[in-house]
Amino acid sequence: MPTPRTTAQRTALLDVIGARRGAFSALDLFDAVRERAPRLGLATVYRTLDRLEQDGVLRRLGGSAGSADRFVVCDPSHHHHHLICTGCGSVEETELCAAPPEGELKRRHGFVATSHQADVYGLCRSCAA
């Protein structure tokens, strides 16, 4: 895994991603970055997103097949979950953990948990009004 190179496309992508607050799809990103880099190809967006996901910078929120994957900027250094607003699609993080405790899972089910995905759906502050 080589060190990423500093290309115009990569810079533009990182720039736009850094300015995002909520979740976005590859196409969202494509459209946004294209305004400043019209020749950007969609494939490059996907390749960059994959890489950022591997690096732990982004987290992929997989939806059902047929709908596009979405990504959120994600600090992997602390454990957190996502609050996904069904009204406006925004995503925020919370430190409150929504997963069954590992010890209890082991005891009652013999199940050794390695990771969990606990996303909470509902309405964010603005949409709740």
Q: Which residues bind a second copy (CB under 8 A)?
A: 60, 62-69, 81, 83, 85-86, 92, 94, 96-101, 104-105, 108-125, 128
* From 8-16, 80-88, 96-104, 111-119, span contacting DNA (CB under 7 A): 8-16
Q: Is the separation of the CB atoms in 41 and 29 below 8 Å?
A: no
As measured in angstroms, the least distance from the Cβ of 67 to DNA is: 6
State how far the Cα of 81 lies from the Cα of 8, in Å rounded to an integer.
Answer: 33
Measured from the Cβ of residue 9, the count of other Cβ atoms closer than 10 Å reads 16
HSE-CB for 77 with a 13 A CA cutoff: 1
Smallest distance from DNA to CB 123, Å: 24
Does residue 23 touch DNA according to CB under 7 A?
A: no
88 binds, among DNA, a second copy, none (CB under 5 to 8 A by kind): none
Q: Which is nearer to a second copy, 8 or 99 (CB)?
A: 99
Q: Is 103 in the site for DNA (CB under 7 A)?
A: no
Give CA–CA dist 29/116, Å, rounded.
27
Out of a second copy, DNA, none, what residue 36 binds, judged by CB under 5 to 8 A for its kind, is none
Tokens of 79: 């454990």
Distance CA(24)–CA(21), nearest Å, equals 9
Residue (47 or 107) nearer to DNA, CB: 47
Is beta strand 70-73 parallel, antiparallel or unpaired with respect to 24-25?
antiparallel
